[in-house]
Amino acid sequence: MREFLIGKLSGRALPHEWFTIGGSIAFILLVVGAIVLITYTKRWKWLWNEWLTSVDPKRIGIMYFLVGGFMLLRGGLDAIMLWLQQALASGSSQGYLTADHYQQIFTAHGNIMVFFVAMAFIFGLINYIVPLQIGARDLASPFLNSLGFWLYVGGVVMVNMFFLLGGEYAATGWLAVAPLSGTEFSPGVGVDYWIWSLQISGIGTTLGAINFIMTILKMRAKGMTLWKMPLFTWGSLCSMIMAVTVFPLLTATIFLLFFDRYLGTHFFTTTGGGNPMMYTNLIWMWGHPEVYILMLPSFGVFSEIVTTFSRKRIASYTSNVLGMIGVSSLALSVWLHHFFTMGAGANVNAFFGVMTVLIAIPTTILVFTWIATMYKGMIKFSTPMLWFLGFVGLFAIGGMAGVILAVPPADFQLHNSLFLVAHFHTMVVGGVLFGIFAGLAFWFPKLAGFRLNERLGKYAFWCWIVGFLMAFTPLYVLGIMGATRRMDHYEASTGWQPFFIMALIGGIIIMIGVAMQLVQIIASIMQRHLLADKTGDPWDGRTLEWATPSPPPSYNFTSIPAVSTRDAFYEMKLDGGFKKVYEDIHMPKNTASGIYISIFAFLIGFGFIWEIIWLVVASFIGMLWCLIKRTFDDESEYTITAKEVKAREDAAAKLPSATKSRIQQKEEMGLIEFIRIVLSWAMSIVRRKR
């Protein structure tokens, strides 16, 4: 009976180690704190109606940023723990982590950074910017978008759930390679948490990608042909097409692994005719394209930034687009370079090696189009531009390391060494994360109504780039010296410790950079009147998103603009600006179905992890019920009449300009000024208490 009710759950699943207790307390405090704050400010209704059930891609985009930002801190904490262990664990010292715990941390770090940070930010940016850039009011299927977001949140909760129940995460590496991830070698619930957090969020990604393809291909403004599309939209389109191509492979592969663990099938087992290397093949068929799925929107961000801040058109739009298409098509046929050492034979290795080296060509073309755009441009070195320049430097280093790794004989030496770790961090941090930061700084005025503090942004950038080089240059050296990845201890005689200590210091500088970014956001909020963007076009932008006010109304455009050129908004400005015409607007209604379906999906995963079959069945029925309810609801839209639109626009135009702020300043505050203000504010509270 007990087994029927709660499955494998027992008192032993509750937190009992320092990190699970610490993690649980931290999460409980966060949740309780949030609940108290919302109740105290009476914001529950507002939160539910305006945000959680919203289908507005702009709102969903911001929610992606918030959750993704939180997970960035969570994954960053993992990174610091790994660096610290490696700096300590030399010779007789074993460091402060057990080997098993260390393995769980690097697994979680990889999963969190790829699935729950990078993907979240990329989806957030696409959500917010793409509809604005193509002149659309919402997405092709607003409900699917909301569902995709909530499934992602379900995955986020799942990946952190092990703190509270189970006490272990997968200790298998971020791709849970077989047969290590089978029940034979990983009998605990760690791999099950891995399976369900990725499965739930991965299905959300597939749905989201389908939605964006529909939106980009079917909802562009009149006159915007494919060859007039803004480059960020192009990057997003390429990325989403890759996502629908490979995410089904991930879903299928994870299901097969799940069957192996749960039903006792023999796909990836060592017995019964199973083939573990098939798992490696299948997972990398998804895994390699995945990094390009993250990279392509980031390329698009850089194109937008370079053109705006060089005040020039992109040099060769066609090469840029063909470059992105080239990258995305080649990216689908290189997966085997992740396991040249598997022994597939010289010819197979040679083919995949050549394909991998070939990718350098379209990528280089892309970089050259950006450099050529800057040539003779009137360059403004604002923060987004700095992130771009940092990216170019890191991308060149990481790219060259990648070409080295793509040559099978060299790879036999460097396979699974820290050289590889340094390579992919250079690409993903330098390419994806810097792109995300650049994009956030660039579009922040659009989504918040005020710019970010430039001074603090520059501090953050310099901390990041210096810290990054300090943290990862030693890893290239260590890799060549023979240090393997996923290593929790090494002999003192290797002489590696100074390098690892240097890496740790670099990591700490990166963390200071992250802190600087948080300070930057807070300081910008404090000075929002000074930094306010009243025109909706703070950078003299070139694409349609800048034709809307900042932040844009829920319907984006009063009337859909007609496009006749690339850089549509720039041309409009030359012709006298964007003219307002009022018309009836159809908008989708808010819905909570996405939340309910996601909760049921989460419970299905939870039920499978702890083998609570009644929960699985009940949740499955609940999910079906919600889906049927939603699909057969024909009244999912409402209309705003032209009159109402005009009234709203007039009201927005009349809003009193900049109310007096407590902090009166003429220029953006620096770090010292920020600390002074925070301290004096804290002092005033203390004095009042007395």
Partner 1 sequence: MTTHAATLDHEMSHEEAANDRVMFGFWVYLMTDLLMFAVLFAVYAVMRESTVGGPDGAELFSPGLALIETLILLTSSFTCGLGMIAARRSNKTQVLAWFGITFFLGLLFLSLEIREFQELIHEGQTLRTNAFMSSFFVLVGTHGLHITSGLLWLGTILFYVNKRGLNAPLVRKLALLSLFWHFLDIVWIFIFTVVYLMSFA
Residues forming contacts to partner 1 in the complex (CB under 8 A) are 140-141, 206, 210-211, 213-214, 217-219, 222, 244-245, 247-249, 251-253, 256, 259, 263-267, 272-275, 278, 282, 559-562, 572, 575, 577-584, 586, 624, 628, 631-632, 634, 642
Burial 457-466 (b: 16+ CB within 10 A, else e): bbbbbebbbe
Which CB atom, from 518 or from 628, has the smaller least distance to partner 1? 628
Q: Which is nearer to partner 1, 634 or 667 (CB)?
A: 634
CB of 630 to partner 1, least distance (A): 12
238 or 560, CB closer to partner 1? 560
Residues sharing a CB contact under 8 Å with residue 106, sequence separation 6 or more, in sequence order: 78, 82, 173, 174, 486
- Rounded to a whole number of angstroms, the minimum distance from the CB of residue 388 to partner 1 is 30
Burial classification of residue 672, based on how many CB atoms lie within 10 Å of its CB (0-12 exposed, 13-18 middle, 19 or more buried): exposed
Token representation of residue 511: 């963390």
Task: Give the closest residue to 86 by CA, choosing from 510, 515, 509, 494.
Answer: 494
d(CA 69, CA 117): 7
| Length in residues, the chain | 690
Smallest gap, in angstroms, from Cβ of residue 263 to partner 1?
5
CB 64, min distance to partner 1, A = 21
**Minimum Å distance from CB 573 to partner 1?**
10
Which pair of structure tokens corresponds to residue 676?
A: 């002074």
- Total Cβ atoms within 10 A of residue 406: 21
Between 271 and 659, CB nearer to partner 1: 271
Compute the least distance from the CB of residue 34 to partner 1, in Å. 35
What is the closest distance, in whole angstroms, from the C-beta atom of residue 401 to partner 1 in the complex?
A: 31
Residue 101: what residue type? H
Instruction: CB nearer to partner 1: give 441 or 563.
Output: 563
124 touches 61 (CB < 8 A): yes
Q: Which two tokens stand for residue 159?
A: 């990946």
Q: Say if residue 291 is exposed, middle or buried (CB neighbours under 10 Å; 0-12, 13-18, 19+).
A: middle
Contact 76, 514 (CB under 8 A): yes
Query: How far apart, in whole angstroms, are the C-alpha atoms of residue 435 and residue 319?
Result: 20
Q: At its nearest, how many Å lie between partner 1 and the CB of residue 239?
A: 14
Nearer to partner 1, 580 or 676 (CB): 580
DSSP 8-state secondary structure symbol assigned to residue 452: P
Inter-residue contact 384 to 309 (CB < 8 Å)? yes
Q: Which of 228, 219, 13 is nearest to 130 (CA)?
A: 219
Nearest residue (CB) to partner 1, 215 versus 320: 215
72 or 563: CB nearest partner 1: 563
Return the number of the residue (63 or 219) whose C-beta is nearest partner 1: 219
Q: Measured from the CB of residue 248, what is the shortest distance to partner 1 in angstroms?
A: 4
Full 3-state SS string of 7-18: CCCCHHHCCCCH
